[in-house]
Amino acid sequence: MLFSNLFTVLTTVVGAASLLTGVVALPTNVTESAIAARSINPAGTHTGQLTYFSIGLGACGWTNKDTEWVAAISHELYDNWPGYAGGNPNNNPVCTTPHTADITYNGKTIRVGIVDRCEGCALWDLDLSPSAFQQSRRGLFTNRALNDRSVIATD
């Protein structure tokens, strides 16, 4: 995570699993904070930091390349994705049904596939592959310094 920008992400959730929100029975000794964490809805527009990392074997169990347009979502979002009960991260619904995130600025959008979990990311941060980050720099953040920390609003 060498460079970062504050950005707004329009998360497009692709797949029937993410469109359906079922009722999950919780144990009686669950704290309020745990209940709140389980209530994370990934759909919608969110603001967080945009960073990049070297791609390899990800939490979904796939080996991706730096040239692919893919991203890691925060550990908090990954671990609390609707329908995920913990255990093997390869079985997380974010992995078993393809999901994407759209990053939009100035009328331009790039779409990245969600393939990994980011331990160092805050809730709505995205950690991009180098090629997706570079494309976003070229296509979305033109005429900005590489270390700029700007608030970017979606259209």
> What ranges do the domains of the chain cover?
5-16+30-139
pTM, to two decimals:
0.67
Residue ranges of the chain with per-residue pLDDT less than 70: 1-39, 105-106, 137-155
Strands (E), the chain: 5-11, 44-52, 70-74, 100-105, 108-118, 126-128
What stretches of 1-155 show up as alpha helix (H) in DSSP? 16-19, 32-37, 75-79, 93-96, 130-139
At residue 53, the pLDDT reads: 92
Residues with Cβ within 8 Å of 111's Cβ and at least 6 positions away in sequence, in order, are: 12, 69, 100, 101, 102, 103
Q: In this structure, are residues 129 and 68 in contact, taking their beta carbons and an 8 Å threshold?
A: yes
Q: In this structure, are residues 26 and 118 in contact, taking their beta carbons and an 8 Å threshold?
A: no
Pick the CATH number of 5-16+30-139 from 3.20.20, 2.60.120, 1.10.3210, 2.40.40: 2.40.40
pLDDT digits 0-9 by tens, 70-105: 999 999 999 999 999 999 999 999 999 889 998 876
For 13, the token pair is 């959730």
